[in-house]
């Protein structure tokens, strides 16, 4: 072996010069190009589309690699001292960096779905990078194995011309394999993992074929070593396969009836997912806000206008969302095993109001968010009396009321540890005008609030930041936390006119609000991310977000487990 190594190094240069590089280079360039075109055109591709294109790119690469073993001087090489296997390995080693580079580029283009957040566009589901790499490696190995087989069969050195069409034919056959033995499945398929066990076997078989057909000598040592390595590799692949997804409990729609209603007076419903009876999330969804005839009008289609959702048909359904927080099979989801009560808002009052407001002779809006929320709260308390852990999560406008609901949960379930995580309303101002006009008059929230929440405060003093400090005073055991993007353009756009500054400096308002809450004696854990983004729970960014080396999901896990994490704040908040 030592001699082989000694001969290999000087051979590298001449081999590099002897290889016909063009086919490999073209294949390696074409693969990423196939992914680049739809990405550049901003096409909304499903995960299946992206997976298929990635597979086509892998085939391009494999076809290019099929020509790496082409050797026009093949007729003269049987007499050279270096074995064919060594020469093939050398050529493969030289080609591998190009293949790796091309594949990395392909994958990065394929998974670049999340970059621009187009309005209303769902981000592409996470690409199964590992599994697709296994497929690409198998295709590459098949191409090389077929090329070595061609070397054995003909002496003119044209290996690729046989191997490339053969690889393509095999790939076509693999595509058409029926279900029990299928290889090319869509990422969501229940047999995805099993199909990749089959891919691992294909890879192993192709590598063995590559070594066997390149081998001319009599000693079996190398082949034995190779087979041992391959078996180990296959075993490793099987071991590192992700565990089969656990069946996710379903969402149930609950129609509470009674006084509950949406803004237009129609039925209100909320959603429940039953899982762990001891751990529950109360999810207060956004859904927009309104406080005048223009904003509150029952216009637009599907029960929502540009400002808010005004009936039960509008708004997100938890079962429609499969990414971010709602991907309850994601291994990194801190709330994967939790039962969830999902409360959508269809009243334009951030779950706070209890009044019928007549904005115009033809427009009476039922701001009954507090009533609807109370029904969901009742359901939670009666269904999960033994809960030890309740996390109240508020999304955008839903986070305004999150601390108050945290206090209400603590009243109903005194034995549970209650954590409040309010996201994206940190910039809502404490402005006497807003407090009186909107919270007090338009929504009737001041009158509807529990006594402890308004204790000692007049309607003009009762602003959103007070919700936090009043909750801390009433229920000191509740852990309070908030999240904001520093310059979120959408989170507080409706209330801009009550903010100081024109345009207001959102981050300094967030900071001032937090300071006010903490001056009033509350501990408010905070996580402030840089930039002008908006979405969080509905995106896989939920798992990727990391500020100052602290991942949001880790921070949240520590928070709900009762380990008080220190505040996280961006250093350069205007850069993403």
Partner 1 sequence: MTTTLTRPSSSEAAPRRAVLALARMESARLLRHPVTVAATLLLAVSWVSSWFTIATTRYPVLQELDRDSAMGMMVLLGGAALVTGNLAVLRTHRDGTTGLSQVLILPDHARTLAHLLALLPLTAIGAVLIAARMALLALLAPAAGRPDPYELAAGPAAVLLLGALGVLLGRLTRSAVAAPLALLVLLAALVALEPITNGGGTALWLAPQGGAALEMPVPASLMARPAGPHLAYLLGLAGLLATAAVLRAGARGARVTVAGALALACAVAGGTAQLSSPGRDVAAARASVMKHPSQHETCRELGNVTYCAFEGFGAWIPAWDTVVRAVVARVPAPARTARLTVRQRIAVPAFDSASRPGQLLDAWRADDAAAGTPGAVGVGTHWGDGAAAADLAAQVAYRLVTGNRVGDTVEASQADRDGTVVCGGRGVLVAWLTGQATPSALTGLHHRAEESRGERGGVSFYETHLFPTVHVPAPELAIATQALSRPHADIAARVQQSWPTLTAPDTTAAQTAQLLGVPAPATDTACG
Told to check if 236 binds partner 1 by CB under 8 A, we report: no
Write the DSSP string, 230-264.
HHHHHHHHHHHSPPPPPPPPPEEEE---TT---TT
CA distance linking residue 485 with residue 313, whole number of Å: 29
> Based on CB atoms, which residue is closest to partner 1, 308 or 326?
326
* Per-position x/- string for 273-302, each x denoting binding to partner 1 as judged by CB under 8 A, each - no binding: -x--------------------------x-
Nearest distance, CB of residue 239 and partner 1, angstroms: 28
Told to check if 164 binds partner 1 by CB under 8 A, we report: yes
Number of amino acids touching partner 1 (CB under 8 A): 59
For 355, the 3-state DSSP assignment is: strand
Q: Tell me the H-state helices in 186-303.
A: 192-214, 221-240, 293-296
Cα–chain-centroid distance for residue 103? 22
Nearest distance, CB of residue 168 and partner 1, angstroms: 5
Burial readout 14-46 (b: 16 or more C-beta within 10 A, e: otherwise)? ebeebbebebbeebbebbbebbbebbeeeeebe
> Based on CB atoms, which residue is closest to partner 1, 83 or 193?
193
Q: Binding segment for partner 1 among 39-47, 192-200, 495-503, 548-556 (CB under 8 A)?
A: 39-47
Q: Which of 75, 118, 172, 493 binds partner 1 (CB under 8 A)?
A: 172
Query: What are the strands, taking DSSP E only, across 352-433?
Result: 355-360, 363-367, 389-395, 417-423
* Per-position x/- string for 195-234, each x denoting binding to partner 1 as judged by CB under 8 A, each - no binding: ----------------------------------------
The pair of structure tokens assigned to 451 is 């006594």
Q: At what angle do helices 192-214 and 84-110 cross, to 10 degrees?
A: 150
CA distance linking residue 488 with residue 510, whole number of Å: 11
Cis peptide before 146 (omega within 30 of 0): no
CB–CB of 472/521 below 8 Å? yes
> Based on CB atoms, which residue is closest to partner 1, 382 or 575?
382
Find residue 526's DSSP bridge partners. Answer: 482
Q: At what angle do helices 84-110 and 47-65 cross, to 10 degrees?
A: 160
> Based on CB atoms, which residue is closest to partner 1, 179 or 221?
179
> Based on CB atoms, which residue is closest to partner 1, 55 or 196?
55
Q: Which of 1, 3, 9, 43 binds partner 1 (CB under 8 A)?
A: 43
Q: Binding segment for partner 1 among 59-67, 368-376, 511-519, 552-560 (CB under 8 A)?
A: 59-67
Q: Which of 2, 79, 120, 179 binds partner 1 (CB under 8 A)?
A: 179
CB neighbourhood size of 338 (10 A):
22
Told to check if 176 binds partner 1 by CB under 8 A, we report: yes
Residues 398-457 binding partner 1 (CB under 8 A) are none
Burial class of residue 176 (count of CB atoms within 10 Å of its CB; 0-12, 13-18, 19+): exposed
Q: Binding segment for partner 1 among 9-17, 32-40, 443-451, 537-545 (CB under 8 A)?
A: 32-40
Told to check if 271 binds partner 1 by CB under 8 A, we report: yes
Q: Which of 71, 135, 312, 514 binds partner 1 (CB under 8 A)?
A: 312
Q: Which of 19, 23, 94, 446 binds partner 1 (CB under 8 A)?
A: 23
Told to check if 44 binds partner 1 by CB under 8 A, we report: yes
Q: Which of 16, 96, 117, 173 binds partner 1 (CB under 8 A)?
A: 173
Instruction: With residue 485 as reference, give the H or E element that holds it.
Output: strand 479-485
Binding site residues, partner 1, CB under 8 A: 22-23, 26-27, 30, 34, 37-38, 41, 43-46, 49, 52-53, 56, 59-60, 63-64, 66-67, 156, 158, 160-161, 164-166, 168-169, 172-173, 176, 178-179, 247-257, 267, 271, 274, 301, 303, 312-313, 317, 319-320, 322
């Amino acid at each position: 072996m030592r001699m082989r190594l000694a001969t290999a190094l000087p051979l590298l240069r001449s081999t590099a010069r002897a290889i016909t590089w063009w086919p490999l280079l073209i294949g390696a360039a074409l693969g990423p190009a196939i992914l680049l075109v739809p990405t550049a055109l901003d096409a909304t591709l499903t995960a299946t589309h992206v997976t298929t294109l990635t597979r086509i790119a892998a085939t391009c690469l494999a076809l290019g690699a099929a020509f790496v073993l082409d050797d026009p001087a093949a007729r003269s090489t049987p007499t050279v001292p270096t074995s064919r296997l060594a020469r093939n390995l050398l050529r493969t080693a030289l080609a591998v960096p190009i293949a790796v580079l091309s594949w990395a580029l392909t994958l990065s283009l394929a998974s670049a779905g999340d970059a621009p957040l187009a309005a209303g566009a769902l981000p592409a589901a996470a690409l199964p990078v590992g599994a697709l790499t296994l497929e690409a490696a198998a295709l590459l190995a098949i191409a090389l194995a077929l090329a070595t087989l061609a070397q054995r069969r003909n002496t003119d050195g044209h290996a690729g011309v046989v191997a490339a069409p053969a690889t393509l034919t095999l790939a076509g056959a693999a595509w058409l394999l029926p279900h029990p033995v299928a290889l090319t499945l869509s990422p969501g398929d229940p047999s995805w993992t099993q199909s990749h066990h089959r891919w691992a076997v294909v890879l192993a078989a192709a590598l063995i074929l590559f070594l066997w057909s390149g081998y001319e000598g009599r000693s079996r040592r190398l082949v034995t070593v190779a087979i041992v390595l391959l078996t180990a590799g296959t075993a490793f692949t099987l071991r590192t396969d992700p565990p089969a997804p656990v069946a996710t409990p379903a969402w149930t729609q609950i129609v509470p009836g009674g006084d509950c209603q949406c803004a237009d007076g129609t039925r209100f419903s909320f959603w429940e997912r039953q899982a762990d009876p001891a751990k529950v999330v109360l999810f207060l969804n956004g859904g927009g806000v309104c406080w005048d005839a223009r904003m509150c009008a029952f216009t637009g289609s599907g029960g929502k206008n540009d400002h808010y959702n005004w009936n039960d048909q509008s708004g997100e359904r938890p079962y429609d969302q499969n990414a971010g927080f709602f991907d309850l099979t994601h291994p990194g989801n801190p709330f994967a095993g939790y039962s969830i009560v999902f409360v959508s808002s269809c009243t334009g009052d951030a779950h706070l109001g209890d009044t019928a407001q007549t904005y115009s002779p033809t427009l009476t809006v039922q701001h009954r968010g507090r009533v609807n929320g109370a029904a969901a709260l009742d359901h939670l308390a009666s269904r999960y009396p033994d809960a030890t852990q309740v996390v109240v999560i508020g999304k955008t406008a839903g986070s305004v009321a999150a601390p108050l609901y945290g206090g209400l949960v603590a009243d109903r379930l005194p034995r549970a540890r209650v954590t409040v995580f309010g996201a994206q309303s940190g910039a809502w101002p404490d402005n006497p005008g807003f407090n009186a006009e909107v919270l007090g008059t338009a929504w009737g929230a001041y009158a509807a609030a529990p006594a402890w929440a308004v204790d000692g405060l007049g309607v003009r003093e009762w602003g959103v930041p007070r919700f936090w400090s009043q909750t801390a005073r009433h229920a000191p055991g509740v852990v309070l936390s908030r999240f904001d993007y520093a310059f979120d353009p959408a989170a507080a756009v409706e209330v801009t006119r009550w903010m100081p500054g024109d345009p207001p400096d959102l981050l300094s308002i967030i900071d001032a609000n937090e300071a006010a809450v903490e001056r009033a004696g509350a501990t408010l854990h905070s996580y402030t991310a840089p930039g002008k983004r908006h979405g969080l729970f509905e995106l896989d960014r939920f798992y990727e977000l990391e500020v100052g080396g602290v991942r949001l999901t880790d921070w949240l896990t520590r928070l709900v487990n009762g380990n008080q994490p220190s505040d996280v704040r961006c250093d350069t908040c205007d850069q993403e």
